[in-house]
Amino acid sequence: MKPNELLHNLGQSIWLDNITRDLLDTGTLKRYIEEFSVTGLTSNPTIFDHAITHSSSYDPDIRRLVGAGLSGEALFFELAVQDLTRAADLFMPIHERTSTVDGWVSLEVSPLLAYDAKATVEEARALHQKAGRRNLFIKIPGTREGGSAIEQAIFSGVPVNVTLLFTRDHYLAAADAYMRGLERRVEAGLSPDVRSVASLFISRWDKATMDKVPETDRDQLGVAIGQQAYVAYRGVLQSDRWQRLANCGARAQRLLFASTGTKDPKASDVLYIGALAAPNTVNTMPEETLLAFGEHGRLAGVLSPGGANSEQVLAEFDRVGIDVAKLGVDLQAEGAKSFDNSWQDLMKAIDGKSKALK
């Protein structure tokens, strides 16, 4: 049995962190579903920037949309929705077979709206309605400002992928926003069956510290943060607050391990896959990581609900001078800035192609 299949059978969903029109047109995504147990995917501005810049597959549609008077964000979302609805249709049998737990795709709102909760919710609603697919998550950053947008989007019935989470506290804040939205739905007499995932970024922890700690501590922090968040996740699901919501028909906001491509050239290229295996969670991985794990991946066991040795690892990083709490704040701020920069690059790519093809 392939490592990917073993991971899937353990109860963790394998999602692809990539989307391009070429993946769809060549049947590659369909093959990944059949051969690598892929049951969903995520996208982001960097992925679309690379896809549009390095492929001519989008050129006919860009030319058509420019002719129709579209530009910038409006043109991009037309392209993105086309790709993601095709992908959503491929995953729909999985979505239905798993009673809507799995088989999801994700589309991100403009990061330029990060500090405007009302505009974020309006765009989330509009994009979800435009796509017309019930297995589409709208990605909203889990920043302090994003909390009210997440709550309101969930209350509005929009499934949300909470992104840009780095710490246990970030995850708990995302879980709180999700439950607030559901509690408001219950109070209003609405169904609380509105789905969500909480995306915890892993590899950036080790990228930020690999040259600042002893060799024996290198590439240990990301997994420890994942373990710590998993303990919190299990705690939320066992809480009285969540059990009351579950009794009304709510389903778990699953913990998703994101940014699981290895950044350290000295480390295993599947470092974060086997080490973060856990049931009722998701691991969304870059294409090269997915293929590498299928070729030589191994499971190191299942994450412990008690966190294994995560607290000892975190204490060791504190001992060698890494302020983990401050680093988590910095990583989220840097991530938000990176999203903005990626979005600007994407808009420049759209503008460049539009002018070239006009």
Q: Annotated catalytic sites, by residue? A: 139
What is the Cα–Cα distance from 218 to 314, expressed in whole angstroms? 12
What is the Cα–Cα distance from 241 to 173, expressed in whole angstroms? 14
β-bridge partners, 313: none
Cα 64 to Cα 84, 234, 254, 350: the distances in Å are 19, 49, 39, 13
Per the CB < 8 A criterion, the answer to whether 208 and 263 are in contact is: no
For 164, left (φ over 0), alpha (ψ -120 to 50), or beta? left
Find all residues with CB under 8 Å of 36, minimum gap 6, and list them. 2, 4, 14, 290, 291, 294
What is the Cα–Cα distance from 52 to 60, expressed in whole angstroms? 12
What is the Cα–Cα distance from 332 to 126, expressed in whole angstroms? 26
Q: How many of the other CB atoms lie within 10 Å of CB of 35?
A: 12
Q: In the 8-state DSSP scheme, what is residue 173?
A: H
Task: Return the structure tokens found at 353.
Answer: 């192609």
Q: How many whole angstroms from its chain centre is CA 348?
A: 24
Task: Return the structure tokens found at 207.
Answer: 């990228």
Nearest to 259 by CA among 47, 21, 29: 47
β-bridge partners, 140: 162
Cα 134 to Cα 83, 159, 189, 256: the distances in Å are 15, 8, 21, 19
Per the CB < 8 A criterion, the answer to whether 90 and 30 are in contact is: yes
Cα 87 to Cα 33, 102, 174, 199: the distances in Å are 11, 13, 26, 20
